[in-house]
Amino acid sequence: MEGPVLLQTGPETFQVMLGQGRRVAARLSHHTRRGLGLQGVPPLTVATEIVAFLLERETIDTGQDDELVLGAAAGRYPEFVDELRSRLS
């Protein structure tokens, strides 16, 4: 399977195309990027890495009506912050 394709639709919003017509709206707030110490990294780059991180650990539900809040992964995975910083360094 090819990796997901992300399109930035606004300053903090993205459309995540997962293949086979599956897609989900996602949000990455600037507060999350700043809290991770990644404010100098383009939002699309950070969002792409978070989606890749999530797909390695779980399936992203494309049937949900709500946006996928990308920063919520920090609360579910203790390794999230270190892993993300490592990927983007």
Residue range 17-21: mean pLDDT, rounded: 86
Q: Give the span between the Cα atoms of 42 and 33, in whole angstroms.
A: 9
Most distant CA pair in the chain: distance in Å? 34
Mean pLDDT score, 7-13: 96
The percent of residues above 70 in pLDDT, for the chain, comes to 97
C-alpha span between 49 and 33 (Å, rounded): 12
